[in-house]
Amino acid sequence: MACRGPPVSSSVMRSALELWLVRHGETTYSASKRVAGWSDPPLTDNGRRQAEALRAVIDGRRFEGVWSSDLLRAVESARLAWGEPTTDRRLRECDFGDLEGCTYEEADSTYGEVFSEFRDFEAPGGESHEAFRSRVHDFVGALDPGAHLLFVHGGVIRVLTQDLGLDRFIPTGSVVGLDWATREVLFLREGGNSEATD
């Protein structure tokens, strides 16, 4: 007869989930202060350097999974900082619809609340905050226990941290660590010089 230990409670299982959220390197859009969303601008030389610099931060760490948005700027950042990721469309930036390609100034003059509040909005011709938040949380809710490394976008990081005391867009090339069970920000290593939504 096989012996089993006591059942593991769901709270213990949840407490084992740690997220390392990496914002991709600078892109041609973020360098020129433009909204990217589902558009797929390439990394700049500076963006590639930012991604390569992340290797020193994450090197030697063990992760249960290494994930990326399927957009090229996130995939390339993952390859430069770590290696080949598993891509998932749920990790894409918010679809900003008609605002994509606009300068931040143009977007803010009409839809400033989308970026400043980043709650309860529907991007014109794009995605609602509720739909965006739901798909990102759906991805995280399906992860196995352990530490996971995610190469994502400013909006993805913000939608995961905005109720944890970190409610702003972080610069490109930054890393945020979360204990997802306790909803705590463990660390923030800022890099780059862009604070935009791409």
Instruction: Show the beta-strand stretches assigned E in the chain.
Output: 17-23, 65-68, 86-87, 146-152, 175-179, 184-189
- What sign has the CA pseudo-torsion 56, 80, 26, 125? negative
- Catalytic, 52? Answer no
> 23 forms bridges with which residues in the sheet?
152
Q: What gap in Å lies between CA 193 and CA 173, rounded to an integer?
A: 9
- What sign has the CA pseudo-torsion 82, 84, 86, 89? positive
- Catalytic, 190? Answer no
Of 18, 26, 76, 93, which one is the catalytic site residue?
A: 93
Of 18, 24, 76, 127, which one is the catalytic site residue?
A: 24
- The residues carrying an active-site annotation are 24, 93
